Structures are given as structure tokens and as C-alpha cells.
Structure 1
Amino acid sequence: MHRTSTAHRAARRLARVMAGAALLAASLTPAWAVPSFARQTGSECAACHIGAFGPQLTPFGQQFKINGYTETDGKDGKVPLSAMMIANLTRSAKDLPEVPDHFKANNNSAIQETSAFLAGRLTDHIGAFVQSTYAGVDRAWALDQLDLRYARSLTLGDKETTVGLAINGNPTLTDPFNTLGQWRFPYTASDFGFGQGPTPMMENLAGAVLGANLYALHDKHWYGELGLYKSLSTKAISAINAEDVGRLSHPALYWRLAYLDDRKRDNWHVGLSGLSAALAPDRGAPSSTDHFSDWGLDAGYQWLGNREHIYTLNASWMHEGQKLNATQAAGGASSASGSLKTWRLTGSYTWQQTWGATAGLFGSSGSADTGLWGGSSYSARPDTNGYMLQLDWTPWGKESSWGSPWANLRVGLQYTGYSKFNGGSHYIDDVNGVDRRARDNNTTMLFFWWSL
């Protein structure tokens, strides 16, 4: 009896992760760019980042990451430490269906996260990006991100090639572009928001796994990456406060291939990515597994010009094939096979590396399944569609800025609107079982984001 209950809870936990449950999805902390990199290289933040604030990378920033965070201005005494804090005020169109402890049903303000970073060069060929965060809403500490790198340059076939090894805790964290899960817009979101709907398994393993990725950039055009990820133990997951999604029955395979072209005034890339994973949602029954096969397309374009007017366009689409034998057996799914599709489209404009405007569209759709989605949707589908609008101001971070490269601030206003949520324009809320409209989740957030 206890075994059946444990398996059912594990299946429902996996279903919630796949569904991108609102507060959980919003609380997954993205990784950021940090001023210690600027101090190390002697370059202004705007050299690596569009808008003088991360995480959107310019070609120079992409190369810095591929080179293992090791580039330097040659001056000694640089300490690879940084800190960050994000505070926000959030209002949703209708009260939250589930109110976090210590907060209200609406109109909440919070110091959402306070982070410390070990970020920069450790030796000539070894660099690190490690983020530890205290979440002000959950009131808990977590090891958010881990990316330790070894990189060096070679000559292959008369062409310059950079090769590296990245030890990391999150597929897509290692990617140098702004189109995959870890790095795409929005670069900050409210813990009181409702997320962007279901996401594929490739975007749901952060913190629960440890991976080793081999990568290479050949002839400044071809980027490739191949990684294997293994589940952390329950003790390790508990110690770093990660979300336990189950146990990988064997190492998950992550792969990435992209072609990029830097033409100085502008640049672009197109790419493919994917993940293959077999996951046991109940660690007590490791032979009973679900299988996930993710693959996707992405592309990005940047117009940099003379850096006064900057335009970007990023797009991605991903398909996930699902074999949910374990989840179905535990009562968490009505069908053993299914699929999930997600897409994102984002455009931005930045003026004088100071004023920014971004508009984004997002969507997800999936197979009907009364076990996975029936409790929260009339259609028994996870379909979610919406848009995001953001205006922001970054007063510092340029070479002539006050306090550069120590003082960094971004102030922004972000609005998220939904036309569909959990299956349609109306859905049944899981928490209280009442009818809720998708637009009831529309969210406005004012945020203040400091780093030093």
C-alpha cells in the first residue's frame, strides 16, 4: 500500500513538472551575467551584453563563454566574485489561486532573490560560473547554477578551433545563445506569476542532475556540444534544495549543433538541439520508467550597427515525444504515449545601451490526457498561449558610467497576458476546483535588479 502511494505521488510530481506548474515554473531561477567578468576583462558590460546588462550575449560575450570564462586584461588581483539582488512588485488580474506563506493573494512585493557568484577565471584554461541564491518568496537557499569549464584553442585542418569540457548541473546552461531554455526571454519573472505553460524535459532537470559536456567551436562558425547527465542522489538534491523529478535510469544524452556568422555590424545563428532521457518518477521502482525524446530548432539575429540602435530577434520550436509507461501505471496518465510542442518568438530594441523594449510570444500544446491534464482543463490538454511586453532602463554599465564596472542596475516594467491557459480560455483550477479564465492570470510586474 505504501509502495503504491509513493509511486502515485511520484507520478503526480512528474506531471506537475511537465505542466510547468505556475509558482514552480516562475521560481526556477535563471542564471545571470555578472560584473566580475567585466572587471576581469577590463571591458565594459556592453561589450558582452546587449543593453549593458545580461544575459543577452553579443558575439564577444559568446566567445568569452566558449573560452571558459578565462579571458583577462592581464592584470593580477581580480577576484571572481559578484553579487545580485532582484526586488519586484507584482499584481495579477485576479487573486492567486494558492497564496504563498507570508504573502497576500495579490499586490505582493518581495526581495525575490539574493545571489552570490563565483564567476571568472581560475587558471589559464579553467573558469567557473557558480550561483548560490536565497529565494525571498520560498525563504530557502539553493545552489542555482553550476558551470565549471576547461577550454583551449587548437588548429584543426588549418582552422582555429576552441574545444572545452563543461561540468554543469543543467542542460542548456552551457549554451552561448539566447534561444534555449536557460537563457531566453524573460530574463527575470515574478515568483507570483503563472509561467509560460508546459516545458519539455530538457528544461526541467536543472539542479537535479550533474553533466559532463564536450563542446567545440570550429572556424568561428560551427558550434557543437555533446553531454551526458546523471541524476543526483536524494541527499545531494536535498542539500542544494533542488526539485527532485525522479531518477534517470541511465545517463541522459544532450546534444547541440549550431552555425553562426558574425559580420560585425550584425550576426545570426541557426541551430538544432535535443535530449534523450529515461526517467523513473518513483526512485523506489527504478525499473519502471518514462522515456522522453526532445528535439528542436532555433535561430537568432542581432543588428548591432554602431551600438546606438540594437535590434534582436530570437525564435525556437521544440517537440517532445513521451512514453509514459511508469506514470500511467501509477495512475498519473491515461495514455502511455503522448507529445508536447513549445515555441517562443521574441524581438527587442535597445537605444544607446540604456533604454530597452521587448515583445515576446509563447505557446505550448500537447496530446489530450485526462490523467495528466484533465483535472485542470476542460479539453484535457496543456495548451497555453500568451505574450509578454517589457520596458526597461539600464542607467549604468557603460564605460563612462558612474561606478563602472561595479554599479549595475536595471529597472523594468513587465506585462504577461494569456489567451489560453491549461487547455483553453477557461480552465478548472487544480487548487480550489473553480472555473478560472486564462486572462485572470494576466500579470504586471515592476522590478529592480542590481548586481555588483
Structure 2
Amino acid sequence: MVTPPTAQALPIFARQTGQPCGNCHTDVLGLTPFGRRFKLGGYTLGGGPFRKTLFPIPPSGKVFPTADELKSVLVPGTASQDAVAQLRSYARQTTSDAKLAKPAATPEQAITDAFAAVQKPEEEPGWFPPLAVMLLGGYTHTQAPDPNWTPGVNHWNANNNTGLAQASLFGGGAMSDNVGVFAQLTYSFPAIADASGKWGWDNVDVRYAQSGQIGGVDVLFGITAHNNPTVQDVWNTAPAWTHPYFTTQLGFTGPATSTVIDGAYSQRVAGLGGYLFINDQLYLEATGYKTLGVVAQTRLGADPLASLGQIAGVAPYGRVAWEQRFGDHNLMVGGFASRFEIAPWSVSGVPVPLDTTGNLADVPYGATNKYTDFGFDTQYQYRGDNYWVILKGAYIREEQRYDAGYIGGIVPANLTNSLNTLRASSTVAIGNDNRVVATGQYFRTWGSPDANLYQGNQDSVPDTTGFMAELAYLPFGSSRAPYWPWFNTRIGLQYFYYTKYSGDTVTSHDKNTFIVYSTILF
């Protein structure tokens, strides 16, 4: 959770939908087909013990979703008697077996019959503010003391630290039948070399969604406005939602170098895009990103200088994915592409001038550096009897061209470079609503040698290769658990093992990191 592109399965969504975590998530951030549909539908699905909006939505609707709203989550060919089982929390909380004893003609009718027994006017349930709080903390140990540590800068030691990593306030859910929000405000505690922590906005995703039919084919259409490239994605292979889902701000939890699409402009852009989900199979998206003004970034807690510069014009992003279900098997193959033309923060080595407020001025320059990213990804999910098996893979290649001549105060040795990222992981989630989760991940970054960009790295390369292993336990994940849907927590162990770090194969093991963490949500 220390990196910006993160979030958690939230009590606010559990309260709104009436669903336990395991209906939407295979592993907290990992989404099931039902969870993906909830997000694509704009976070608007209701069904929980509270009214989903402050004021009733006219005409006075029903608390529980209709069969049309939920038919997409049913596996084609599902037997009638199994329809409600796929939405087990509704049946457990709102009906008895006797109410479902009469067989239905279709799976959709089985859902409708189950909901009809418990329908009540929307004015009857109360409304609760759609807010949640998360605390993340833990213990971090590295094989060798962190070389970035300086005595007296903050309260951390060079090694073996225990403390808080992050505190977040979340707001979100349905604003109307078609508009929903996910928003996060975060206080990040200081990292090993930081003098202090800071408040800032975190992931924000505002959506409008509408479903219908075109030529007899089901189509879901949506518009998304967000502040982090790929945070709008619903598969856990895009950079914003990949492993590790949680970690502390200390230690070494991945490569030191990454592509632009992989978090370089988190919370520093405004993105607006549209998407189609056709027949619950084909996903198409087009989005454009524009850098926020320097003053706006500063006020929102996003350091402008932590990025490569200002995006010239609009950076385009496209996404395509094909998802196919075969009974309990679900397979996605897809790809994405983006192009960022960036005016760096210095020109000919001279920093961009300050404006009258003391902030860096928003000054456009004709010369830009170009970063073109191509990504290919796949995800396989198998839903067994009280367990999930998930396999994921993603590859990103970035082509770089430095027409502006500078990156910060550095002149790249080459006019063009390339950078590659590969991630592959497997996860097994076992128990009541995925109570125990084990994950293994292989990650590798490699690219062109550049004596100036990677000065100090062995062989002047960005290459990093490593493995991550995690074991997590979620004691309060189900609808029958104590304090659900008001409280949730996750306890995890992580180990990062490096065979190469920034080109170094001799002392790479010094970066090996062991973390014990816990998240608390309420």
C-alpha cells in the first residue's frame, strides 16, 4: 500500500451491496467476474442493509438488484437451483431455504424469486455515510542495512523497523443509478530518507455506466474520470493493480526502474476515457491524460518533480481485452498501449523557472522526450469448491526517445533506449471467502545500457530480477464473521528475494526484504 496505485476491498462497498468480500474478490484487490462487473457498472450495485444513496432514487426503487442487473454474473447454462448459490450472501441473509424450495424456470427467474420474497420500499432502510478508514503498518527487515538511511533524518533505524506506513480515508459508492465514485485520501508516513510524511489525494475514479443492447447483443457503456493511468482497469494484470497489493514504505519491494505507464504519473494527471464491455466478453477502452498544473499537484500533495516532466498535449491510452468463461474457468487475454510526450523539468540543464507563487511554472517546450509503451497481459481464474486458483502474467515494452536531450539534469548517453518489464504470478485462495491466500511472483526488468541514465549501476543497466512470496490471512472476510460489514483486517508475511538489483549480481542479496504487515479497515 506504500505505492500510489493501491486500494482495498472496502467496508463501504460491503455495506452497499450486502456482499461479503469473497463474492467480489479472490484476494482483496483481485477481482472475481462479479467484482469486475461491479466496477464496470460504476460502483452502483445495491442490495445491502442500507440505502445506497442519501436520497431515494426516483422512481422509488427496490433495494435488491433485478435479474437483468445481475444476469451477467451467471455462468451460461447454469442450472436453476444453482443460480442463487452464485450470489450466496443474498440467500443467506435475506431468505430461507423454504422460500427457495419452488424450482424456477430459468436461472434469472430463480434470482428474481429469491429477491421478490424480501423486497421492501427503498425508503425503509437507513442511509450511512459511504466512508471507510484504513491503517497499514508492519515490521520491515532487510538483509543488509538500507544504504539510504541517514541518522537523525527521521525516527527510523537503518534496519529492523516497526511502525505505520499509511493511513487512508475512503469515500465512494453509488451517487445515483448510473454514477459512482471511488476516492482515497492518504497520509503517507516517511520513508527511510524522508524528513516527514505528507497528506495527498490518492486514487480517484468517477464513473458513469449504462447497460443496454445493440442488435440483440448486451453492451455496457461507461465513462471514467480518474487520476492514475490504469487505475480504471478491472484485471489484476495492469500496473495499478498488480502484486504486491500491500507492503510497507521501507525495504526493497521491486525494481528501482519502471516504465512510464507503471506509476510515473500516479495522482499527477487528469484522465478521461470511455469504455465498452460487449457481451460480457470484449472490453474496449480509449483514454486521454493531461498533466495537472504544478500548483494543483502541489496542493493535492503530489510532488511534480517526482515525475519526468509535463505531458505535452494529451497522452493517449488504449486497452483491449477478451474474457471467456468455461464453467468455473475464466480466461482473459489482452493488451494496452500508451504514448507520453514529455517536456522535462529542465532544458539544457537549466531548471524550469519558478512562478510568482514559488511553484514551478507551467511552461511548455517544443522539444519533448517520447515514451511509447506496449503491454500484453493474461489472467486465468479457476473457482473450485471453496477455493480459487489464479495465474497472471504481464509484459511491457517501452521505447524511449530523448529529443529534449535532458531527463532532469542528466543527458542520456543514447538518443534512444528501451525498457522491459515482466511479471508472472500464481495465487491460491482457500477457505470461507478466501481466508488464507498464498502468492508467488517472479519479476524482471531489463533494458538498454546507458552510462549516464544508469550511472552507478553495474554495467550501466537497469536490470533487476527477483521473486516475491506472500502468505496472508483474513479473519473477517465473510458475511457471517463478527463485525462484518463494519470491520476488516488482513495479516500478511512477505519476502522479496533478488538475484540481480540494478545490474548488481554480487551484493543483490543485500536488498532481500522480509515484511510482516497488517491492514485494518473500518
Q: When the two structures are superposed, what TM-score results if normalisation uses the length of structure 1?
A: 0.89
* Unpaired segments ≥5 residues, structure 2: 48-62, 64-121, 191-195, 346-351, 353-362
CA contact (8 A) 2:5 2:266 kept: no
Residues 1:279 and 2:339 aligned together? no
Classify the secondary structure of the residue corresponding to 2:295: helix
Q: Indicate the residue corresponding to 1:380 in structure 2.
A: 460
Q: Following TM superposition, by how much is the alpha carbon of 1:26 offset from its aligned partner in structure 2, in angstroms?
A: 5.4
CA contact (8 A) 2:2 2:165 kept: no
Q: Indicate the residue corresponding to 2:258 in structure 1.
A: 199
CA contact (8 A) 1:40 1:78 kept: no
CA contact (8 A) 2:312 2:364 kept: no
For residues 342 and 255 of structure 1, the distance between their equivalents in structure 2, rounded to whole angstroms, comes to: 19
Residues 1:322 and 2:400 aligned together? yes
Q: Cα 1:209–1:158, aligned 2, differ >3 Å: closer, same or farther?
A: same
Q: Indicate the residue corresponding to 2:425 in structure 1.
A: 346
**Could you tell me which amino acid in structure 1 is paired with residue 171 of structure 2?**
L
For residues 124 and 327 of structure 1, the distance between their equivalents in structure 2, rounded to whole angstroms, comes to: 50
Q: Indicate the residue corresponding to 1:18 in structure 2.
A: none
Residues 1:63 and 2:37 aligned together? yes
> What CA deviation, in whole Å up to 9, does each residue of 1:200-241 have, x standing for no partner?
111211111001010110001001111000000111110111
Classify the secondary structure of the residue corresponding to 1:50: strand
For residues 259 and 345 of structure 1, the distance between their equivalents in structure 2, rounded to whole angstroms, comes to: 19
Classify the secondary structure of the residue corresponding to 2:247: coil
Q: Indicate the residue corresponding to 1:80 in structure 2.
A: 130
CA contact (8 A) 2:259 2:373 kept: yes
Q: Aligned to 2:281, which of 221, 246, 252?
A: 221
For residues 364 and 458 of structure 2, the distance between their equivalents in structure 1, rounded to whole angstroms, comes to: 32
Q: Following TM superposition, by how much is the alpha carbon of 1:378 offset from its aligned partner in structure 2, in angstroms?
A: 2.2
Residues 1:28 and 2:28 aligned together? no
**Could you tell me which amino acid in structure 1 is paired with residue 8 of structure 2?**
W
> What CA deviation, in whole Å up to 9, does each residue of 1:74-110 have, x standing for no partner?
2551432111111110000011111262211111112
Q: Indicate the residue corresponding to 1:97 in structure 2.
A: 147
For residues 125 and 200 of structure 1, the distance between their equivalents in structure 2, rounded to whole angstroms, comes to: 34
Q: Aligned to 1:253, which of 316, 335, 355?
A: 316
Q: Following TM superposition, by how much is the alpha carbon of 1:140 offset from its aligned partner in structure 2, in angstroms?
A: 0.7
Q: Following TM superposition, by how much is the alpha carbon of 1:285 offset from its aligned partner in structure 2, in angstroms?
A: 5.7
**Could you tell me which amino acid in structure 1 is paired with residue 157 of structure 2?**
K
Deviates further, 38-47 or 263-272:
263-272
Q: Aligned to 1:305, which of 380, 384, 389?
A: 384
CA contact (8 A) 2:466 2:499 kept: yes
Of Structure 1 and Structure 2, the greater strand share is in 1
> What CA deviation, in whole Å up to 9, does each residue of 1:288-314 have, x standing for no partner?
2100100110000111123x1211111
Residues 1:403 and 2:462 aligned together? no
For residues 378 and 285 of structure 1, the distance between their equivalents in structure 2, rounded to whole angstroms, comes to: 35
Q: Indicate the residue corresponding to 1:368 in structure 2.
A: 449
Q: Indicate the residue corresponding to 1:21 in structure 2.
A: none
**Could you tell me which amino acid in structure 1 is paired with residue 319 of structure 2?**
R
**Could you tell me which amino acid in structure 2 is paired with residue 114 of structure 1?**
A
CA contact (8 A) 1:59 1:262 kept: no
Residues 1:107 and 2:160 aligned together? yes
Classify the secondary structure of the residue corresponding to 1:379: helix
**Could you tell me which amino acid in structure 2 is paired with residue 366 of structure 1?**
G
Classify the secondary structure of the residue corresponding to 2:37: helix
**Could you tell me which amino acid in structure 2 is paired with residue 315 of structure 1?**
G
Who wins on radius of gyration, i.e. which is larger?
2
**Could you tell me which amino acid in structure 2 is paired with residue 239 of structure 1?**
R
For residues 17 and 429 of structure 2, the distance between their equivalents in structure 1, rounded to whole angstroms, comes to: 24
For residues 419 and 413 of structure 2, the distance between their equivalents in structure 1, rounded to whole angstroms, comes to: 15
For residues 8 and 403 of structure 2, the distance between their equivalents in structure 1, rounded to whole angstroms, comes to: 37
For residues 146 and 342 of structure 1, the distance between their equivalents in structure 2, rounded to whole angstroms, comes to: 26
> What CA deviation, in whole Å up to 9, does each residue of 1:371-400 have, x standing for no partner?
11022x121100000000011111111121
**Could you tell me which amino acid in structure 1 is paired with residue 390 of structure 2?**
T
Q: Which has the higher contact order (CA 8 A, sep 6+)?
A: 1
Residues 1:236 and 2:296 aligned together? yes
CA contact (8 A) 1:86 1:114 kept: yes
CA contact (8 A) 2:463 2:502 kept: yes
Q: Indicate the residue corresponding to 2:219 in structure 1.
A: 161
Q: Indicate the residue corresponding to 1:451 in structure 2.
A: 521
Aligned identity (percent) is 30
For residues 146 and 33 of structure 1, the distance between their equivalents in structure 2, rounded to whole angstroms, comes to: 15
CA contact (8 A) 1:179 1:314 kept: yes
**Could you tell me which amino acid in structure 1 is paired with residue 258 of structure 2?**
T
**Could you tell me which amino acid in structure 1 is paired with residue 141 of structure 2?**
R
> What CA deviation, in whole Å up to 9, does each residue of 1:98-139 have, x standing for no partner?
126221111111211110111211111100000000112252
Q: Aligned to 1:122, which of 169, 175, 178?
A: 175
For residues 97 and 231 of structure 1, the distance between their equivalents in structure 2, rounded to whole angstroms, comes to: 33
> What CA deviation, in whole Å up to 9, does each residue of 1:325-376 have, x standing for no partner?
224485331111000000000101111111111100000001010111022x
Classify the secondary structure of the residue corresponding to 1:182: helix
Residues 1:151 and 2:230 aligned together? no
Classify the secondary structure of the residue corresponding to 1:65: helix
Q: Following TM superposition, by how much is the alpha carbon of 1:62 offset from its aligned partner in structure 2, in angstroms?
A: 0.2
- Aligned pairs for 1:5-24 within 5 A: none
Classify the secondary structure of the residue corresponding to 1:396: coil
CA contact (8 A) 1:253 1:275 kept: yes
Residues 1:359 and 2:425 aligned together? no
Residues 1:333 and 2:412 aligned together? yes
Classify the secondary structure of the residue corresponding to 1:326: coil
CA contact (8 A) 1:266 1:305 kept: no
**Could you tell me which amino acid in structure 2 is paired with residue 87 of structure 1?**
G
CA contact (8 A) 2:344 2:406 kept: no
Task: Report how many residues are paired.
Answer: 414
Deviates further, 68-77 or 213-222:
68-77
Deviates further, 405-414 or 94-103:
94-103
CA contact (8 A) 1:255 1:275 kept: yes
Q: When the two structures are superposed, what TM-score results if normalisation uses the length of structure 2?
A: 0.77
CA contact (8 A) 1:394 1:411 kept: yes
CA contact (8 A) 1:200 1:294 kept: yes
Q: Indicate the residue corresponding to 2:500 in structure 1.
A: 420
> What CA deviation, in whole Å up to 9, does each residue of 1:147-193 have, x standing for no partner?
00000002112111110110000111000000011101110122112
